[in-house]
Amino acid sequence: MKKKDILTIFKTLSETIERAETELIYETDFQLMVSVILSAQATDISVNKATKNLYDFCKTPQDFIDLGEEELKNYIKSIGLYQNKARFIIEAANDIKNRFNNKIPDNFDELTSISGVGRKTANVLLNILYDKPVIAVDTHVFRVSNRVGLSKGLSPKEVELDLAKITPKKYILEAHHLLILHGRYVCKARKPKCSECSISSLCEKNNI
């Protein structure tokens, strides 16, 4: 895809998407980490619903440690893979408390050394908490990038690396939010709303 078309895509999305930011609801940095861990194979809506009451009193790693894995499961059992995620969250809470002095690390290697934190989660945290110019690739970003023609990557990492190379610097901080929200509300997996798409003229698979 030509550079001018890539620029037009991100410029157009930034103009049509009012709030290019996460839809996860949180107050503290660790709550954001928890929500991102929970969001794997789950919608933001379902995560926000599950954490609404939990976050009233669980704000720090110690709060989650005190709550314990079994009780945590009761709050998040509506989320897919909740048993594994509960274990990851408690282990992550202990990591953040004991290894990082209750502060979310600001670098990729340390983040991915934490239980339950993979490449996507690390990049989300780096982008939102530390304004790092990284792109987190979830199912929406992966789908939209391949469908529109921004990447031909066969894995999330390949798409991430492609996007990191081609995304205009002006839009790099909000790029994954733009692609996520476009994929969530317009370029849907099963029935993309091509007639409502602001970048349909540049899409390789328009009206698929």
Question: Catalytic residue numbers?
Answer: 120, 138
Contact 47, 24 (CB under 8 A): yes
**Cβ-based neighbours of 88, under 8 Å, separated by 6 or more:** 37, 115, 116
3-state secondary structure of 117: coil
CA angle 56, 53, 75 (to 5 degrees): 125
Strand (E) or helix (H) holding 196:
none
Per-residue b/e over 141-178, b at no fewer than 16 CB within 10 Å? bbbbbbbbebbebeebebbbebbeebbeeebbbbbbbb
79-86 long-range contacts, Cβ below 8 Å, gap at least 24?
79/38, 79/42, 79/46, 79/47, 79/50, 80/41, 80/42, 81/40, 81/41, 85/37, 85/38, 85/40, 85/116
One-letter identity of residue 191: K
